[in-house]
Structure 1
Amino acid sequence: MYDGPPVVVVGNGPVGQTAALLLARWDVPVLVVDAHPRREVVGSRSICQQRDTLDIWDTVGAGRTIADEGVTWRVARTYYREHELFHVAFSDSSGSAFPPWVNIGQARVEQVLDERIAATPGIEVRWGTTVTGITARPGGVRVHTDRGDIEAPYVVGCAGARGEVVRRAIGADFEGRTFDDQFLICDIRCDLPDRELERRFYFDPAWNPGRQVLMHPCPDSTYRIDWQVPPGFDLEQERANGDLDRRIRRIVGDQEHEVVWCTVYRFHSRCATSMGRGRVLLAGDAAHLMAPFGARGLNSGVADAENAAWRIAYALHGWADPSIVDAYDAERRAAARENLAVTTRTMDFLVPQSESGWAHRRDVLERAVTDPDARALIDSGRLYAPFRYGADPDPVVGALHPDHGVRAAARRARGGFLTHDNLVVRPDGHVVGWGP
């Protein structure tokens, strides 16, 4: 049993919450600090939760609640103007307890995780605590806050895109770019029974010419709609002159509807030059920012949290050499780079940055109306899947280990099993690393 000072998690969003719950599951005490005075329930934000993310949350008692409350969408349709180019129907033959995708707003996910934190011994949460610096000390780190210093063996920085303090602690730059194009998000509550289990993507519809629209179903008859909007778009002006209502009516028709939340944002494509150095690790948006098409932001952040938690636990319990924590950077930055490469290709198709890029997009979409081969060239977002480390297809750290018999020589390990080749497999079948 590790009985030293708690690991400090900076940031109490879903990635930080996940890191805290997983560390506590490994019998490591945790202190979560967040600069906000309290939980803020704001809009849908990250809505698409992938099966492996649900599986990770299930290990801390939250996955089933999130899955049951969410919307399991089964069909993804893609349109060009008035033409449906193709659709993908998700069949599930994996035998998993969870569906491939569940849509549920980030605010509700945070509430569920808050409930699990409140019921979990060993986790303390301090709201209204701003981290001003992090310095190394023998055997750990000192976390400087506006409410005093905290001694800790490790820090997991989940402070979001503005987590400059934790990036600075490891000397990491936040390389990449910000796209100039703007996007409008609205959460609309409306009765649309023909679309309640469908994701729809529209290229160049008549009601948003030259741009695109993405529509996702959410719980409680709510739909998340993303419009690409022109430079200089003014949301308040659009509200005032009735254009926002007309924009929504072009999608929902005469149905009564309620606008639950709206915001305008730009996409970023950035990755920290290091995700871990010494005793400070970065996870989630503090480490990488990517366009949301494909749902790679929160899902990859949860995978970061899992990787960080088991490594820190193994080091603190003495089950492995402390150098096991050093490998976090190589593994999770490789995953971040792949996710950024995927989302950058998507953005290059959705919002080309050159005349030749626009010409290619127009040509592909025009041909796709009648040519099935051209449809394979359309990129509206490749859906997230856990990063597979290494070249061997099985087993790979980070992937769900397939069902198979375990040799009699396997022995029980804390939180999982060590198989004959010392592969650590959690009781739920998730590969979490190699044992000592």
Structure 2
Amino acid sequence: MTTPVWPLPPVLVLGAGPVGQTTALLLARHGVPSVVLDRRPERDVTGSRAICQQRDVLDVWESVGAGRRIADEGVTWTTARTFHRGAELFSQTFPEAGCPAFPPFVNLSQARTEQILDECIAAQPLIDVRWGHDVVGIEQGPRGVRVTPAGGGAVDGSFLVVCAGARSDALRALLGVSFDGHSFDDRFLICDVRADLPGRADERHFHFDPEWNPGRQVLIHPCPDSTFRIDWQVPAGYDLAAETASGALDDRVRRIVGDGGHEIVWSSVYRFHSRVADRMRRGRVLLAGDAAHLVSPFGARGLNSGVADAENAAWKIAWVGYGRAPESLLESYHAERHAAAVENVAVTTATMDFLVPQDAGRARVRADVLARAADDPAARERVDSGRLAEPFWYVGSDLTTPDPRRPFAGRPPRGRVPAAGPGVLVPDAPVTGPDGVRRLRALARDGFLLLAGAAVDPDVGRGAADGVPGPVRVLAVADLDDGELTAALGARPDDVWVIRPDAHVAAVLAAPGHDMLRAALDRARGCTTPIERTRDGVLPTGR
């Protein structure tokens, strides 16, 4: 299908970090031009920062040409090991239904990930990146948004996505958005250390109360080029400059890596926060990534959830701007991604409460759990070293049509994913698709996808899709299945699967008629009645 010409001014994106870069690239994939504004004079290439990329995020990046490159350059790990006082308590692996295109987790420095995304942006004529634009004013009306950088020179756009990072207090204030939550007193020292550590190059290690950080925790992640990211929990008031000057930092590193020689490539100290914006949408403005939510890094849910924000925002802005959906679809961005942020805060706060007990009673409980965990499976389940990143499930979204045959069982056990069904990111699987496409999610991200079971006449899907003002593809499961698709979905012959442009399942319908299927499609794009468009194709601004 030929991409239509975008009928509005470009979309503005504040922040050229990975979330802003991803937003712009995904918008371009929908044929939507963007202007990316960043307050910095140029890109900062120091430090590993966010290193842990989850497989579904790599899949999103692959849709814009970056996922395979990031995965190939990064360090793949499939096992997470947890220790207490040097003894291993348990290990965790990461199975998934279907045949995923990428490994569970890949470690690559944020700086290198940004470079790869920059190269994709440089090849994309729809994206205009402007450095040195510190936005200090935001105005919006019924047909667009205007931002004013310090020093003047307003920039106009149709929509605005704020991806400006954790230090977005002034921007949130301009939008009347609060950022409630709390901060943890303990600090975490983070170092990138180059060293030769045989046997540790493909595993994540988490240590409770090791002899080289007694009473606190240490997390060790492998990175490319024989580099390891080491995170120490340190007390409030920890002084990195003093420890570096005295040589104590080198001693701290040596106690982990040994005397074989090492190089500290980068170091920093962080204080972690759990905060969520009360609104992730204000009219034509959407907040994404750290500008909308902050969580502790144990579980790698920061950048990974920000990329999910970007994908959710991009397809909805595109469908609203092209006139394919009502503006209420933008409100579903807030509903879905705010719920995801609240979930991430709940998960990571539970981890931090286990890592840093808030009172003596909880400290005693933790000590007892850790002491019993090596031999007691029930105690082992209570050890919280970070529930690792996973996609959020839009089961309760207004865009999702429930299926009583596939009830959602709630948060699955650690390291598992829910069964395929409404609201869940569709499992990936090899397919024999049109135009040589070989993976299900690559088909799904071209628009809405209707998958018809063997007992369903595909004409029912084509009839339901007729008149939908946007790309809707109708395909038969039997024509695609290379032997794994039906099993990955748990598909029945009378099913029709409705899959959104972000590869989440909107509905699974049993032997649906035209009207039932059209109702699910309309619900998934935020409308149940024909779209009323203004003379110039711009929908009025909502709340």
Matched ranges for 1:254-265 at <5 A: 254-265=259-270
| Residue equivalent to 1:114 | 118
Letter in 2 for 1:48: C
TM-score, length of structure 2 as denominator length: 0.77
- 1:288 is aligned to 293
3-state DSSP of counterpart to 1:179: strand
Q: Give the Cα–Cα distance (whole angstroms) in 1 for the partners of residues 470 and 19 of structure 2.
A: 23
**Map of 1:201 onto structure 2:** 206
Contiguous gaps of at least 5 residues in structure 1: none
1:417–1:424 CA contact under 8 A, matched in 2: no
Q: Which runs of structure 2 are paired with 1:208-219 in the superposition (5 Å)?
A: 208-219=213-224
Q: 2:57 aligns with which of 53, 56, 70?
A: 53
Correspondence for 2:153 among 130, 148, 157: 148
User: 1:369 and 1:431 mapped to 2: Cα distance?
Assistant: 39
Say which SS state the counterpart of residue 185 (structure 1) adopts: strand
Matched, 1:220 2:216: no
Deviation at 1:401, TM superposition (A): 4.7
Q: Shift of the alpha carbon at 1:92? A: 6.0
Q: Helix, strand or coil: the match of 2:91?
A: strand
Q: Name 2:72's counterpart in structure 1.
A: 68
Deviations 1:379-418 (Å, cap 9, x if unpaired)?
0000111100126444344613565892224458856636
Describe the shift of the 1:353–1:105 C-alpha distance in structure 2 as closer, same or farther (beyond 3 A): same
Equivalent residue letter for 2:314: A
Is 1:423 paired with 2:536? Answer: no
More deviation, 237-246/345-354: 237-246
- Give the deviation of 1:164 after TM superposition: 2.3
Task: Pick from 298, 303, 309 the counterpart of residue 298 of structure 1.
Answer: 303
Aligned CA distance change for structure 1 residues 316 and 422 (closer, same or farther; 3 Å): farther
Q: Does 1:381 align with 2:407?
A: no
The alpha carbon displacement at 1:367 in A equals: 1.4
Distance 1:30 1:422, change over 3 A: farther
Q: Residue type of the partner of 2:39? A: A
The structure whose Rg is larger is: 2
Whether 2:279 is the aligned partner of 1:274: answer: yes
Q: Does 1:406 align with 2:451?
A: yes
Determine which of 361, 364, 368 is the counterpart of 2:366. 361
Aligned to 1:99: 103
Q: Work out whether residues 46 and 298 of structure 1, in 8 Å CA contact, stay in contact via their aligned partners in 2.
A: yes
- Which residue of the partner structure matches residue 351 of structure 1? 356
Deviation by residue 1:337-384 (Cα, 9 ceiling, x = unmatched): 000000000000000111111111111111113323211110000011
Give the Cα separation in 2 of the matches to 1:333 and 1:104. 27
Structure 2: runs of 5+ lacking an equivalent: 397-406, 409-419, 430-439, 441-449, 453-457, 476-494, 507-520, 528-543
TM-score (norm 1): 0.95
**Kindly tell me: are residues 337 and 93 of structure 1, through their superposed partners in 2, closer, same or farther at Cα, counting changes over 3 Å?**
closer
Q: Is 395-404 or 196-205 further displaced after alignment?
A: 395-404
Q: Please say if 1:246 is aligned against 2:260.
A: no
Whichever residue aligns with residue 370 of structure 2, its letter is L
Contact conserved, 2:85 with 2:209, CA < 8 A, in 1? yes
The alpha-carbon distance between structure 1 residues 113 and 316, as it changes in their structure 2 partners (threshold 3 A), is same
Which of 223, 238, 241 aligns to 1:236? It is 241
Q: Do residues 11 (structure 1) and 86 (structure 2) align?
A: no
Partners of 2:472 and 2:356 lie apart in 1 by: 45
Moved more, 375-384 or 73-82: 73-82
State how far apart, in whole Å, the 2-side matches of 1:169 and 1:232 are: 33
Map Cα deviations across residues 15-52 of structure 1 (whole Å, 9 max, x no partner): 00000000111111100000000011020011110011
Partner Cα separation in structure 1 for residue 505 and residue 23 of structure 2: 17
Rate the CA distance shift 1:418–1:148 in 2: closer, same or farther, 3 A: farther
| Matched length | 435
1:160 aligns with 2:165: yes
What is the deviation of 1:163? 1.2
Which one of 176, 180, 188 corresponds to residue 175 of structure 1? 180
Displacement, 1:122? 0.8
Classify 1:118/1:35 alpha carbon distance in 2 versus 1 (closer, same or farther; 3 Å).
Answer: same
d(CA) in 2 for partners of 1:319, 1:92: 34
Checking the alignment, whether the CA contact within 8 Å between 1:183 and 1:265 is kept in structure 2 is yes
| 1:109 CA drift (Å) | 0.6
Higher strand share: 1
Partner of 1:25: 29
